[in-house]
Each structure stands twice: as C-alpha cells, then as structure tokens.
Amino acid sequence: MMSALFTLTEYRITEQIYNGSRTVVYRGYQQDGKPVALKLLKNPYPTFSEIVQFRNQYTIAKNLNSPLIVQTYSLEPHQNGYALVMEDFGGISLKEWRIRGNLQSLPEFLEIAIALCDTLNLLYQERIIHKDIKPSNILINPTTKQVKLIDLSIASLLPRETQALVNPNVLEGTLAYISPEQTGRMNRGLDYRTDFYSLGVTFYELLTGKLPFASNDPMELIHSHIAKIAPLVDEINPEISSVLSKIVSKLMAKNAEDRYQSALGLKFDLENCLHQLQVSG
C-alpha cells in the first residue's frame, strides 16, 4: 500500500489527481478499503461564496443517484472549510485523456458524445443547469470508457434564471466555454440550453485540439462568444465529416433557439453519424 499524504478523519489519502486554481482533489481509501476521491478548497480561509458553492455541489449531486454523474458520499468538515468525499471509478478528465493522445478514432469520440447526451438529458429531467461543462469536468475511465460528469459547484436547480451583468473576472463558469447568454451581456435568461453551447465547445476542442476562441483577454473572449463565428470543425480537421461539423456548429449557435432543443435530438443525430461511419467503414 502507498503511504498516506495526509490524514482526514477516516480516510487514507495516497495521491493528488487534480490541482486547480481553487480546489485540489486527492485519491484515497476509506478504512474499509473502498476507493474514494476527496475534493478540498485550496484557500485556507475560504470565502462565504466558496463555501456556498462547495455545499451546493454536494446538495445537488447527492440527490442524483445516476451512473452518469460522479456520486458524492459525504461532506466532511476540514479546517475552515469542507472535504467533499466522492466515488472514485478510476477516471481521468477528458482534457487529460485527450492530451495523452488516447482519443484514437471518430467512432470513439461519438460514443463519448452520445453518452454525454444521456447526461445532459438527465440534468434536464432533474431541472438542473450545470453551467460549467468542459473537458476537465468530464471524467472517463481509460479502460472501460465509462464517462461521468463532475463539479456541480455553480449548478442551478432553477429551470430558468436571469444572468446579471457582472465583471468578467468573476463570471460563473469558464470563459473559454461559456455561452453568450451566460456572459450576462445578452439581456436574456439562462436555461438548460446554455449547457448545450458549452458541450459544443467541448466537442470542438476534442475534435480539433483547439478552442473556437482563444484569448487571454476576458473581454475579448466574451465578445467572441457573443459576436464572432468560429472556424468550422471540418475546416480545421478535414477528417471530420461536414455532418458532424454542422452538429457542433448548431450546438454553438449564438441564440439558444437556434441550438438543439433537446439532448435526445442531439443524441439521435450523433447516433446517425456513428451508424454512417460504421456502414461506410
């Protein structure tokens, strides 16, 4: 057995698997040997907002008993904040998985994409808006190819909410993947279709290795999401069919009404793509 990095009540921590700007995630074991992942806030004196978000992801996720979402087991007091104890199914982020060169074929991408449609449909059925869909919030088990969504810290249980105009540096979500309406500059409410846009950006990045809009300037990124049209996926990667490229573009439509209106409609089109690939070889 590996030696523990530190002790947290009844858990043995053996490995750090994620180190972000605000959180760190460790892999470890319960006393009974059950594998777990533990997510902690990096800030030794977390703000009220950080603590609320941490509790939010636990509150929402604990009611989602689905293999499509990483299960949360408990919320443990830790120093001035909490440790979120979650299932560990041996997953790594889609971002890391792609960087390692594991995405070998288009059928493999489509199978992952189809699985994510089921995840978004589940969120819709439960009236949840995730608001931070991106490759680093999607885990995949490299062996089984099972895919699960993580991080409901800024998710909303409301079927629709109004996004107020705020400083781009404190926007909810990740700017590279954020929908035009989630920027707060579109004078319209948020609904489940904001996640479709972010999923489109995720697909775009997985298929091309690039983000549709790349900038270190937050205001430029926001302007791009609202007003600029990204280069087509099949222009960047000629191996991608025009049909699949159009699916990604539809997901990334500026107006929510022009995107897919249901995850099952998207799934149907992706399954057709997969079928055509399998038939044509």
According to the model, what pLDDT value does residue 101 have? Answer: 81
Whole-number Å distance between alpha carbons of 272 and 117: 14
According to the model, what pLDDT value does residue 53 have? Answer: 86
According to the model, what pLDDT value does residue 163 have? Answer: 53
Q: How many domains does the chain have?
A: 2
CATH number at residue 175: 1.10.510.10
According to the model, what pLDDT value does residue 161 have? Answer: 54
According to the model, what pLDDT value does residue 2 have? Answer: 40
Q: Mean pLDDT of residues grouped by 10 in the chain (281 residues)?
A: 53 86 88 92 89 89 92 89 92 90 86 97 94 95 95 79 50 85 85 96 96 93 95 95 97 97 98 92 61
What is the DSSP secondary structure assignment for residue 69, as one 8-state letter?
A: B
Domain match, 260 and 148 both:
yes
According to the model, what pLDDT value does residue 179 have? Answer: 95
Domain coverage including residue 245? 92-280
Tokens (6 digits) for 43:
């800030």
Domain boundary among 60, 87, 114: 87
Whole-number Å distance between alpha carbons of 259 and 246: 11
Domain match, 113 and 75 both:
no
According to the model, what pLDDT value does residue 166 have? Answer: 47
Contact of 132 with 93, CB cutoff 8 Å: no
Domain boundary among 65, 87, 109: 87
Domain boundary among 54, 87, 120: 87
Tokens (6 digits) for 75:
């919320």
Would 108 be classed as within a structural domain?
Answer: yes
Buried residues in 171-184 as b, exposed as e (16+ CB within 10 A)? bbbbbbbbbbbbbb
Give the torsion through C-alpha atoms of 61, 4, 40, 178, to 10 deg.
-70
pTM of this structure: 0.90
C-beta atoms surrounding 196 within 10 Å = 25
According to the model, what pLDDT value does residue 3 have? Answer: 40
Contact of 201 with 252, CB cutoff 8 Å: yes
Contact of 86 with 17, CB cutoff 8 Å: no
According to the model, what pLDDT value does residue 159 have? Answer: 57
According to the model, what pLDDT value does residue 104 have? Answer: 76
Domain match, 52 and 147 both:
no
Tell which residue, 119, 5, 132, has the closest CA to residue 64.
119
